[in-house]
Structure 1
């Protein structure tokens, strides 16, 4: 009698390494953002930790998190004028100084994590555009809408 415990491995489709790495990274990043505060305080200097402490105190609203993802995508694409424009246009979305602090921390966390992945996974040849698409996946995972 044949052991069928591992038959699912034969049925899986092949997936390129880059796509697999980005998919797994998106899942990990989404889990970190869901658990507040994310573990970003270990890579932020003491000076910045004190300056932006209000942002880590409580979980930001979903609107602030979406805004941070928008800004991080533009930052990864090096669209600095777009970042400035979006910050000016979206300033009304921030309801308190604590939300402004959490926005800053979130954007920094997202861009640092993405660029860290790009640097550590040299063999996968991850481009900035791939990281932007991966942030879209993170947003889909965080704000998944289920019907029924």
Structure 2
């Protein structure tokens, strides 16, 4: 498995950030925010991390951005995940109840990153938490 990294946001998106999708032709890098002891993944838009929590979309200016090594390959899979070890999670904690796999789902003319919870992709949009049954899960694979 490749190693995903989380980098503190300091005003600019790192060159090695992983984009989770697009909206209006703008990349939406994957971010995460800690809420109630869990790391919730979301999307960076206009220097804020937008994430779904408790039925709403929240914004935070204190967050981390998902990055990868140049040699790693990101794969967004809509099919069954073949190797759970490659799935990128919001937290490396061994307690799986504190982890959310990173997902993305299509909405309107965009593709929005969020968190996989209960076999559905939850993402923030327009102030609400939206839930998609059709989604892709992020895997990060080390190049050979």
TM-score band by shorter chain is under 0.3
**Whose RCO is larger (CA < 8 A, sep 6+)?**
1
Q: Which structure shows the higher helix fraction?
A: 1
* Structure exhibiting the larger radius of gyration computed from Cα positions: 1
TM-score for both structures, normalised by structure 1: 0.27
TM-score under structure 2 length normalisation: 0.28
